[in-house]
Amino acid sequence: MADHNNDHYDELMSHNYDGIQEYDNPIPGWWHMIFLGTVVFAVLYVVVVHFTSIVPSRDEAYANKVAAAEEAQFGKLRELPMDETKLRIIMGNEAWLNTGKSIFDGTCVVCHGKDAQGITGLGLNLTDDNYLYVKEMMDIVDLVANGTENKKMPAQTKLNPNEVAMVSAYAASLRGKNVPGPEGSDAGEVIAPFPAPIVDENGG
């Protein structure tokens, strides 16, 4: 027997399928609300994402993440012009110099050796006072960024400018360690000493 409190849900429908009848149970109101909510959300999403600047595009979001990562990694180093002073500041900052070492270990040791002692037929010794392509500190930056004309030193095109600066500063800091290298790794001539590191007392 039907519950009279639910008569509006328990009315039998008029059609009959082989003696089977259905109750007229309407869809609950909460289901309608959810459906209408998804429609409203879809319309708002299209309008906000595609027709306003409130939500950044995928390219903008990626660029923002890259900028944030670089800011965390390089800090004020990003603001310094690429010059000798920048290299000297890196040389006086342990964190940046260690990053330069990491870049060197991942990029340069294959030719210059794990101790920068040089490898016969590949890279020169970077720990002595003899230099073949370098007259001053900024020449190291040019070598890293552009390589040599004879292609023995390839351009490191995958490094961004700050990474170039850090690995160049690290290479310059190796001078004077005088790690023994193989025959021929000391090619070149003695050049003037590099300027001293600049230590930032505020910690960079």
Nearest to 171 by CA among 146, 142, 148: 142
What is the per-residue pLDDT for 4? 47
3-state secondary structure at position 131: strand
pTM of the model: 0.66
Query: Which amino acid is it at 122?
Result: L
List the chain residues with pLDDT less than 70: 1-10, 55, 62-64, 66-73, 201-204
Question: Residue 131 forms beta bridges with which residues?
Answer: 189
What is the per-residue pLDDT for 143? 96
Query: Which amino acid is it at 123?
Result: G
**Domain at 76-190, CATH class:** mainly alpha
Domain boundaries, the chain: 4-51, 76-190
Query: Which amino acid is it at 192?
Result: A
Contact 17, 25 (CB under 8 A): no
- DSSP state, residue 122: S
Distance (Å, whole) CA 128 – CA 188: 10
What is the per-residue pLDDT for 10? 61
